[in-house]
Every structure is written in C-alpha cells, then in structure tokens.
Structure 1
Amino acid sequence: MEQSETVLKAFVKQLTEASGALVEEIEPNGLEIISTQELQQKLKLPELTRLGFALERPKGAERVGLETEWLERLGRLLGQKGQFLRSIVPLSIQTMQTPSNPKRILEHNLTLQNAVYRLVKVSPAWTRYLIFIFHYTAFSDEKRDSILRLGINLSNGSLVDNFIETLLREAIQDSRLLDESIKLPPLWTTNQLNYFLEQALPRAIDSNLSQFLAGLKRRQERDLARIYDYHKQLRRESLLRMRKQPAETEKEQAKIQAITREYQAKIVDLQQKYDLRIDVEWVQTLEVIMPVQRFELIIKRRKGERHFHLDWNPLAKKLESAPCEYSYSLEGKRMVCDDALHIVSELAHRDCSSCAKAYCRACHLLKCPKCGKSKT
C-alpha cells in the first residue's frame, strides 16, 4: 500500500474502534468491522462489513479512499472530535542525534542574494509545529478533490512542506506528557495565523492544481479555436455568396449578424462551462511538539545585523528552508531587506509598478513607501 492508504487505514481503524466497533485487520489491506447502530447510520454501512484500502483488497470489501463521499462519511462520524490535536514526540533531547558538518548543511540549504550570514552555534531546543489540513474541491468542466496540508514552525515562520509527512506519521503515534519545564515558542495570535493562511493557502492550492488548470486551459483553447473556425467559415461563405449574388446582399448581411450573435453566445457558454470555482474546507489542526537541533545565525546586510535561526529536524534529518516573511512561499531565492532585515523572496522585494523603486512588502504591507501607491 502507498503511505497515504496506510495512514487512512490506521485512521479508520482508530476512529471506528473509538466509536464502539469491533475491528479486525484482514488481508490484503483491509478491515473487518462489526458496527454499532450509530456507526451504521453515519458511515452508511451494514452491521458486518469489510473495507479495503488499496487496489488489492479482501473479497467483498468496499473500497475506501480520499474521495468526497468517504470524506463526508468520516466527517459525520468524527463531528467536532479530533479537529485539534496535540502530539509531543517522544524523543530525548539529551540523546538526540547531532547533524554532522552543520556548516555544509547550512551552505547547501541557505543562500541570501544580498546579505551574508554566520553560523553562531548549533544546540538542542524545543519547537512547535502547526499543521493545517484542508479539503478542497475544484469545479469546472471537470471536478477535482484533494487534501492539502500546510505546516509551519512557530519559532521562525519556516514552512515544513519538505518533511510534513514525517511529522504527520509521528503525530498519530503514541505521545507523551509535556514537561512543564520545557520552553516552547509562543503560539501565534489569531491575526498572525490568519495572515499566514491568507498568503500561503491560495498559493499552495494553485500549485497542487497546476496540472488540472493546465488541462483546463488546453481544453478551453481547443474549444475556442473550434468555435472560431466554424463561425469564421460560415461568415466566409456568406461573404462569398454576397460577391457572387449581389441581390442577396441584404439577406447575407442579416445572416452574418446572426452568425456573430451566435458566436458571441457560444463564447459566453464556454466561459460558463470552464468557469472555475474552488471550495475549501478546514478539516484539522495538529500541533506537533518536539526537540530539534537549532542553527543560530547572525545575518548581516550593510550596517544592519539580525539574529535568526533555522531548525534541523531529527526525524526527517533535514534542515528547514528559510521562510519568506511576507508570502510564506517556498518558491524563489531569498533576499534581506534594508529596513527590518526581513528575509523575503525576490518577488516580495520587487520594484514598485509606479516609481520603479524596490521595497519590502513585509515592511510595507499596503503601499509603496516611496510614492505612496497601493501595493502591487
């Protein structure tokens, strides 16, 4: 089974057992469930049922996947339970693995286009990750359902997309109690989290839908070309008849006008057919607390200096990427602004469209500080 199918099977097993069902794992890749009455109603299952989670499944098993119908069934059973989850990873900070050659790791993962940095030290620390899980559906001439995960390190704003699956696997394992002496980064305010999601979520959905949108565009352009060629041929035929039969000019002109109206109506129909709507639903938020190896840095830009850090995750054995403190996007090279030494992408430090002066969008969210023009 693929990793997503394994996680889904484990989730369904835990959820149905928590709802009072008797559950037994069966081969290949399935569960046999004796359901309670509540479970039968919410999951639309008989009292005794078999569920399969891969292409190869037990005889008589119903296929379970990340389709809308099964997400809705599980959502009805889950209700408000499990929408917020905290997991403390049972790693010992004293015995945690230390990365070898930290300078090389840092040089490989961090490049600043207009600034320099120095590694001060690497030391054990604790951090908290927030992982947001969304279900979205894209509607056009076709339909696309998917699950989207966004993860962020609350200690520095770095995205953790490159090892989010590792964190999710750990989050569903047995947790431990949090020692009150552990120092954690503070939780973000509602405004901070809303801003992060407003910036990161649309970009992540666009990225996930890139192939779907490219296919939609190809089909739309093909249909537009087909309709254009068809009506162009009709118009050409009418013009040809007008030249050959001048007495039919008035009749053919009326026909050309009708062809034009029909063409415009067909274009409107196509626009409606390929109009894109995306529905997004929040599913769950996971807080994962765990020890990390902290790379503490000093970033220098001209006469300015800023302390910053990146965390090396011992489970994924990876150093997180430097954030863009404006867009929370992983794309693009990183720069440092002059005013507050924000780390931003090149796009977030581009020239103003009015005065052609570059400025930091993290410092100036609403308008250009040079000419006062609204942000573009």
Structure 2
Amino acid sequence: MTESSERFRHFAAHTLEHAGALVEAIEPAGIEAMLPDELQRAWRAPEFLRLGFGSEIPAAAERASLESIWLERFGELLGASGQQLCYAIQPQAPAPSLERLIEHHVELPNAVYRILSSETAWTRYVLFVFRYTAMSEEKREGIIRLGFNLANGSALDPFIDVLFDAALAADTAPAVTPPALNQLPADWAAAKWQKALSRTLPAHVNHHLAPFVSGMQRRLERDLERIHDYFSGLRLEAWRKLQKAKGDTAREQLRIEAAEREYQAKVVDLKQKYDLRVTLELVQTLELRSPVHRVTLLIKRRKGERKLTLDWNPLARQLDPMPCEWSFAAHGPRMVCDDKLHIVSLAGHAACAECGKEYCRVCSPRRCPKCGREDGSDAKP
C-alpha cells in the first residue's frame, strides 16, 4: 500500500470514529466499520461496511481511493468541522552549527551577508490542504499541501509532511502553552495571502498533474496524427482522380474542399475533447505554533542593507528555505534588487525580453521600468 493510501485509511478510520462508528483495521489494507443508524441512512449503507485502500483489498470490501466517491463522502461527513485548526507543539532538539547551515543554505549571487544573532524563538506556520479536480477526457483528483512561515514568508515545501504529521500527533501529545499571540509573528493581510496563494498554487498543480498532462498530450498527438493520415489519404486520392479527369473536374474539387473542412472540424473536436479544466477547493487551514532556533542575517547590496530571519525547525531539523517575495517559491538561488532590496527568485529578477534589462518583479510587477514592455509573468512566476 502506498503512503497516500495509508494516510487515506487512517483519515477514514478517524473520521468514522468521530461520527460514532466502531472501526477496526483489517488486512490487506482495509477497515471494517459498524455504522450508527444516522450514518447508515445518510449513506444508504448497511450496518457493517468494509473499505479497501490498497492494490489488494479485503473480501467483500469496496475500493476507496482519492479518485473514488469515498473522498467526497468523508468530506461531507466532516462538514465544516476541522476546516480550521490550531495546534501548539514543543519539540526538543539541540540546534546544530547554524553558521555552517547558513553557509551551505543561503545563495545570494549579487549580495553579501553576515550573521547578526541566533536565538530561540516561536513562530507560526500556516498550512493549507487543497483538493484539485482536473477534467478532460479523463478525470484526476488529488490533494495539494503547502504552507508558509509567517515570520519571514518562507515556503515550507521541503518539510511540509513533517509539520502535518506533527499536527496530527498534537491531539494525543501533552498540552503546550505557546506565548501570547501578540508575541508571535503577525498574521498576513488578506491581499498578501491572495498574492501568495495565487502565485504558488499553479506551480504545485502543474507538478501534481505533470504525468497526467504528459499522457494526455501523447494521446492527443496520436489522435491528431491518425486523423491527419486519414484525411491526407482522402485528399491524395481525390487529387489523383482530378488529374486523370478529362471532363468536368468540379466534383472532385468539391470532394477535396469537403475533406479539408471535415479535417479542420475533427481537429477542433479533438482539442475540445482534450481541453483541460482544473478546479481547486480549499479543504483545510491549519496553524502550527512551534519553537524554533532563529538566525538573523544582515544582507548588503551595494550601499543598501536589510535584515532577514531564517528559522531552524527542531522537528524537521531543517532550515527555512530562502523566501521569495515575488513567487513565494521554495527552491533555488535568490537575487536582491537594487531599489528596495527585495529578495526574489531568479525568475523574479529576470531580464526583460525586449531590452534585456534585469529588474525586480516586486518593484515593477506589470512592465519593464526601462522600456515599458508589459510582463505577463506577474501571474505566472
């Protein structure tokens, strides 16, 4: 059984128990539940229910997967409960040599930095669970998990699973009392949340759907080639008859034109068939408050300087990725802009396609400040 299937089995078991069912794990990769009366009526299900989550499932069990109706049923069962949660954890781990970590972690090709301080602090991680549905000639559904550190805007992709596991375990862990809210990083404004999610979600969706889109593209190209070969044969046959004809050639000419029109119509139909529509639904928002080891850097670019904090998480034993104030991406080197010292990814400081000037997309999100060329990359980092 895959890791996602195992997670789904645990989720299903906990959700059914929360609804009052008696649940027992069975093999291979399944659960058996005795449903309460109200759940039997809601699902029109028998008193005893068996679900299987792996490639092999128990006898008389229904298969449950992320593409099945069971994910939707469990979501309806939860309703609004559990959509917004907040946990505090307090993992204990000694900090490593943060200076060495910073040296290997921070890539600033056009700036220099030095460490100002290192201290123990608390931070707020905000984690999101999105459900995506991709519709074309086939359907694909799945879950996207992402998050941010409110202290510095770092994306948490490298250890997002560790944080979710910690949140799930927080229910049974001893209670932790974090500092007062006014001593923790402040929440982001709605506009900043909208910008962060609208810029980072497309990359996550593309990553999850890459195999599906690749297979769909191969099928589209195969079908286009098949149709092209068929109608090319029709046109070639009509041209040969046209060349041999001694009298009126209008009939064969009409056949050629009709074949061309039908070919174009078939191409349009295929493109509509393989047209991909993706919808996203926010399933859950989770806040995790945790102690961290915080390093403050002083970054210098020409005559300007700014401070940046990076947190080392004792649970994941990893340092925050360098933030990008434009794309909110988690990976890659960072550039520091000249005007306001924004820290951005290489794409956020790329050269203008018209005049070749490198410029900061945070300072000029719409157009090049030198030649005025509009830049559509603001929506697609």
TM-score, normalised to structure 2's length?
A: 0.91
Question: Aligned match of 1:152 in 142, 148, 151?
Answer: 148
Aligned to 1:275: 275
Q: Partner amino acid for 1:109?
A: H
- Deviation, 1:338, is 0.7
- Deviation, 1:12, is 2.2
Choose 80-89 or 244-253, whichever is displaced more: 244-253
Question: Aligned match of 2:163 in 133, 142, 167?
Answer: 167
Q: How does 1:191-270 map to 2 (within 5 A)?
A: 191-270=191-270
Choose 353-362 or 176-185, whichever is displaced more: 176-185
Choose 207-216 or 329-338, whichever is displaced more: 329-338
Q: Secondary structure at the match of 1:188?
A: coil
Task: Give the whole-Å Cα distance in 2 for the aligned partners of 1:204 and 1:22.
Answer: 37
RMSD: 2.0
Aligned to 2:64: 64
- Deviation, 1:181, is 4.4
Q: Does 1:98 align with 2:86?
A: no
Q: Does 1:82 align with 2:70?
A: no
Task: Give the whole-Å Cα distance in 2 for the aligned partners of 1:53 and 1:219.
Answer: 29
- Deviation, 1:219, is 1.6
Aligned to 1:126: 122
- CA shift digits 1:213-258 (9 cap, x unpaired): 1222222122212212221222122212222223252221111111
Q: Partner amino acid for 2:361?
A: R
Task: Give the whole-Å Cα distance in 1 for the aligned partners of 2:179 and 2:316.
Answer: 26
Task: Give the whole-Å Cα distance in 1 for the aligned partners of 2:331 and 2:45.
Answer: 44
Residues 37, 287 of structure 1: CA spacing in aligned structure 2 closer, same or farther, 3 A cutoff? same
Residues 272, 2 of structure 1: CA spacing in aligned structure 2 closer, same or farther, 3 A cutoff? closer
8 Å CA contact retained: 1:131, 1:149: yes
8 Å CA contact retained: 2:13, 2:23: yes
Q: Secondary structure at the match of 1:293?
A: strand
Choose 139-148 or 162-171, whichever is displaced more: 139-148
8 Å CA contact retained: 1:43, 1:74: no
Aligned to 1:303: 303
Q: Partner amino acid for 1:185?
A: P
8 Å CA contact retained: 2:326, 2:362: yes
Aligned to 1:374: 374
Q: Matched residues, percent identical?
A: 48
8 Å CA contact retained: 2:368, 2:375: yes
Task: Give the whole-Å Cα distance in 2 for the aligned partners of 1:56 and 1:238.
Answer: 55
Aligned to 2:379: none
Residues 373, 41 of structure 1: CA spacing in aligned structure 2 closer, same or farther, 3 A cutoff? farther
Task: Give the whole-Å Cα distance in 1 for the aligned partners of 2:216 and 2:296.
Answer: 46
- Deviation, 1:332, is 4.2
Residues 365, 83 of structure 1: CA spacing in aligned structure 2 closer, same or farther, 3 A cutoff? same
Task: Give the whole-Å Cα distance in 2 for the aligned partners of 1:263 and 1:227.
Answer: 7
- Deviation, 1:39, is 1.9
Task: Give the whole-Å Cα distance in 2 for the aligned partners of 1:24 and 1:232.
Answer: 62
Task: Give the whole-Å Cα distance in 2 for the aligned partners of 1:329 and 1:189.
Answer: 19
Q: Secondary structure at the match of 1:209?
A: helix
8 Å CA contact retained: 2:349, 2:360: yes
- CA shift digits 1:145-199 (9 cap, x unpaired): 1111111111111111111111111111135343344731111111111111110
Q: Partner amino acid for 2:140?
A: R
